[in-house]
A and B are shown apart, each in its own frame.
Chain A
Amino acid sequence: MKNRIPVVLLACGSFNPITNMHLRLFEVARDHLHQTGMYQVIEGIISPVNDSYGKKDLVASHHRVAMAQLALQTSDWIRVDPWESEQAQWMETVKVLRHHHNQLLKSSAQMEDPDPSKTPSASAALPELKLLCGADVLKTFQTPNLWKDEHIQEIVEKFGLVCVSRRGHDPKGYILDSPILRQFQHNIHLAREPIQNEISATYIRKALGQGQSVKYLLPDTVIAYIRDHGLYSSDGSWTGKGKIS
């Protein structure tokens, strides 16, 4: 019986704040990869972006990491990694992938398992690290100067992409429109989310600013954290270090 390739899914982003939609990405991607029969997803990692990314309304990373931790308390396979947010400055996604891939190789090398009765699904193959994203991120590859071409190539060639569909996006079209993506399309997995769930963090911030309820769009523990720390309030006074650019 063919061994499944172990996979770790890495999602990079602002997570400002984390929402149920972000969490769904992981679930949908895992189901999709399992259904191919070729992969076994062993871990999910959320890597909130560094504060110096400079995105408008970005609250301090320690808050974003804390909220993600709260959201993942009940998950047995997804975790937050603050490494990216703790670096001196913003770094390209490909570097984050490289770092986590190195970590993965290190921990795999350390695991000695001479047990011959090991189950087939937990193979001795090296785990693969794949970038998990929504179709909107795939589209941003087209934005001039946002990504370096050689980085896009490294991402799809050396790592691989799992892209979850989003309403109003045409991921197949984005792939066909880009020579690099076309060349490595076998390494781009398009997962369809049949349940449209357009919970954007932008909307969440807007609703919070207007005093509207966001219950059931993100975990209760995250909502409580936002309230306790006065994040995303309408008077624009960030208790976090966020830059209002």
Chain B
Amino acid sequence: MTSRNHTQDSSGVRGFHLDHQLQLLPMDTSEKTEVVLLACGSFNPITNMHLRLFELGKDYMNATGKYRVIKGIISPVGDAYKKKGLIPAHHRIIMAELATKNSHWLEVDTWESLQKEWVETVKVLRHHQEKLATDSCDHPQRSLLMDRPGRKRKWDEQKQDSSPKKPQEPKSTGVPRVKLLCGADLLESFNVPNLWKTEDITQIVANYGLICITRAGSDAQKFIYESDVLWRHQSNIHLVDEWITNDISSTKIRRALRRGQSIRYLVPDLVQEYIEKHDLYNSESEDRNVGVILAPLQRNISEAKHSNPTA
């Protein structure tokens, strides 16, 4: 990485450009871009690892000094995704809600899961970005900052005040931006044939942005280097190192449950209790959608055939 901000005078003394120095100063909140982290996935079930992704993503983006993360959204995929072992959306939603009960900034969104057909990730991003734009229009002075209950009360008090007072919340730079939060597995799934449309991937990284939590030493950087689309938009792809190997995959959780093994402390207690109470995961549930083609594969392959009938 070249050090373009360093200069050297004739005596060899290094100086910094002024703009670099300004970057080192803590920025006043009014210049930060507000960000909403959106995670799409099966959440089958939600685990402590999913929740950690949000915490790591938030810490990272806030620490850049350029962003302020105001909300995290968990968007469980619809049943029409047809993934093997995917249990009904209403259970997955309830578990996600139980898991985020104690969070001030994470919430669960059901829009995607309520659609009749499977929805491409880029469309979910678009839906949420448009929703944020509409919210901003309706309440121009309102900050969506939900970090502390205290702040929420302040906004309510402001509403009472009829005179146009200067807002107490920091001015935002406009509509908050939605970014896709994910692990390295999603990034690498871009290469799976027919899973993603190239134009969708392009839109995701060009118009929205990716925050990808990766195990330290993973191949994510190499992956970006090897893709022209990702490379072109690398400034919009944030790779966050995860120093704690946190391999709590939902697949392993389901396997442990089938074998009568404990999943305590891997998922929030309320989620574990819910799973136990409703006996959600067993060999029958794991057999759901066996032999069925995953919705994106089905759609992309048939669309390709449709546009190229001789293929």
Contact with A along B227-265 (1 / 0, CB 8 A): 000000000000000011111110011011000111011
| A216 adjacent to B48 (CB under 8 Å) | yes
Instruction: Please tell me the number of chain A residues within 8 Å of chain B, measured between CB atoms.
Output: 25
| A197 adjacent to B52 (CB under 8 Å) | no
Known: A216-B48, A216-B55. A24 touches B244 (CB 8 A): no
- Closest beta carbon of chain B to A53's beta carbon, Å: 25
Q: Is residue B51 contacting chain A, with contact meaning CB distance below 8 A? A: yes
Interface of chain A residues 193 through 209 with chain B (CB within 8 A): 194-200, 203
Contact with B along A202-235 (1 / 0, CB 8 A): 0100000000111111001000000000000000
Known: A213-B58, A215-B51, A217-B52. A23 touches B244 (CB 8 A): no
Known: A196-B245, A203-B243, A216-B55. A30 touches B262 (CB 8 A): yes
| A215 adjacent to B55 (CB under 8 Å) | yes
Instruction: Please tell me the number of chain B residues within 8 Å of chain A, measured between CB atoms.
Output: 28
Tell me which residues across on chain B come within 8 A of A170, comparing CB atoms: none
Tell me which residues across on chain B come within 8 A of A197, comparing CB atoms: 245-248, 266
Q: Is residue B31 contacting chain A, with contact meaning CB distance below 8 A? A: no
| A216 adjacent to B262 (CB under 8 Å) | no
Give the contacting residue for B266; candidates A24, A31, A198, A203; CB below 8 A: A24
| B261 adjacent to A31 (CB under 8 Å) | yes
| B59 adjacent to A199 (CB under 8 Å) | no
Give the contacting residue for A20; candidates B48, B59, B103; CB below 8 A: B48
Tell me which residues across on chain A come within 8 A of B117, comparing CB atoms: none
Contact with B along A171-198 (1 / 0, CB 8 A): 0000000000000000000000011111
Closest B residue by C-beta to A24 = B265
| B252 adjacent to A195 (CB under 8 Å) | yes
| B265 adjacent to A195 (CB under 8 Å) | no
- Closest beta carbon of chain B to A54's beta carbon, Å: 27
Interface centre among B103, B265, B266 (most CB of A within 10 A): B265
A1 to B10, CA, bound (A): 90
| A195 adjacent to B248 (CB under 8 Å) | yes
A213 to B54, CA, bound (A): 10
| A216 adjacent to B252 (CB under 8 Å) | no
| B247 adjacent to A23 (CB under 8 Å) | no
Tell me which residues across on chain B come within 8 A of A74, comparing CB atoms: 269
Contact with A along B267-291 (1 / 0, CB 8 A): 0110000000000000000000000
- Interchain residue pairs with CB less than 8 A apart (18): A20-B48, A20-B266, A27-B265, A31-B260, A31-B261, A195-B249, A195-B253, A197-B266, A198-B245, A199-B244, A213-B56, A213-B58, A215-B52, A215-B55, A216-B48, A216-B51, A216-B55, A216-B268
- Report, nearest first, the 7 A-B pairs whose CB atoms are least far apart: A27-B262, A213-B55, A196-B247, A20-B265, A198-B245, A216-B48, A216-B51
